[in-house]
Structure 1
Amino acid sequence: MAEITREDLERRVKRRENLKDLDLSGLNLDDLPMEGAIFRKCKLTGTSFNYARMAFARFDNCLMNDCVMQRCNLQEASIRECDLSNSDIADSELTEINMSQTILNKTNLSGCFLNHSIFISSDLQLCNFSQSTLQGSNLNGAKMLVCDFTAVNAKNLTAQDADFTGSMFEGAHLDDSKMQKSRFNFCNLSVASFQECDLSESQISFSKLDYVNFSSANLNSVMMVKVTGLEANLTGAIMNGAKL
């Protein structure tokens, strides 16, 4: 149960107070202006943030599971070392958000604007990114297991040494991305576009590749065994040392 009311929280945010070690579970913070708010080690389980305005806000080491955050604005916010499991953030503005080292399990990020976001070393499982935009984002070292990236627009992505095992990329656009040493085993890459991507030393085994576009991609030393697929496009791809 929350230790303070919505009104108390709004006053503290307006005074630019740092909110630390507070239990804010279950509060209704819908539509609340919280630009630049700072939360440290707070418990926000089950809190509602629908349409909340939280650009430039900072959440450090917070428990944010089971939150409802649809259509909120978290542009250039920082959510570091938090747990956002089972939260619904669909259709939100998250451009340039920093989610480094954050845990997301069964989190809904479908339809979100995530351009130039940072997920370095984050741990994600069973998350939904379908129809989101991730252009120019940094996913280096992230674990994104069994996630849904259907129809994402993620051109110019940086995802070196990332693990996407078991994920769905059907119809995704990942052109011009740097994804060296990443793992796409047991994935569905059908109708996805990896045109001019650097996938050198990556693993793409036991995956479905129907109509995937690898044209002009760097596939040097790629491990691509026991894949299935119809009419994959490898025009101009470089495949020195690839294991097929």
Structure 2
Amino acid sequence: MSAALHCAPSALDTPGRRRRPLGVARMQVVNLPVQVGLPWLILGLAFAVNLVIFALVPDAPPGEPKVTGGILSIYMFVVVAHLVTMTQVFPFALGLSVTRRDFFTGTSLFILAQSAVQGLLLTLLLGLEQATGGWGQELHFFGVPFLVQQNWVLQWVVYTVPFLFFSFVGILAGTIYARFGQLGMWITSVGLVLLGGTAAILLTWQRAWPAVGRFFVDTPTSVLLAGYPAVLAALAAGAAYLLLRRAAP
């Protein structure tokens, strides 16, 4: 944090207004090793483990690709990374008299840029995977069949939007903790479990699981992984902003 103390004033010292959102976005770079480094480290480890595993196991039967869901690990740890944003960077920013509105706007700008870059990296890795024949093993790590799109721009969107969703979920969770403390986190967690359990019971009672399956099968991947997550990300961001207005570090 000493490094943050050294660089933060210059990051926030923008012309006309000292604490502009762009300055806050630049301040997020201080926590870049956690926000970006940790998720990519986990992804790299998952990739290495899958390479070794599939190199040791017998070849898959013809027509059955070697598929792994290891790519999901980077999205899961994005939530953790942005929890750190609210538990460490947010109190530090308020200590520099940054307004909550400027902090949220600057953090959102950083999330947008971060998600776009990470989506591009995954797209490039997919291209490399396809060019090398699945890393010489016909392995589908970045190119999980239901994720792969024919259009490279759409491929980037499919990779990028989930980053936005999970990032704002992490921001929302951290904001709930900042606003209501551990009790708020426990109530939220229990509420989500009860909501999911109630939905499962209702679907089972109405024998609606086949309809749910058809929905996921019939809906285009771009809508499932870009359209709906974009809407949910916007809702999470809106809820986080409303709570953040009264959150205390």
After TM superposition, the score normalised by the length of structure 1 is 0.23
User: Which of the two has greater helix per residue?
Assistant: 2
Q: Which has the higher contact order (CA 8 A, sep 6+)?
A: 2
After TM superposition, the score normalised by the length of structure 2 is 0.22
User: Quick check: which has more Rg, 1 or 2?
Assistant: 2
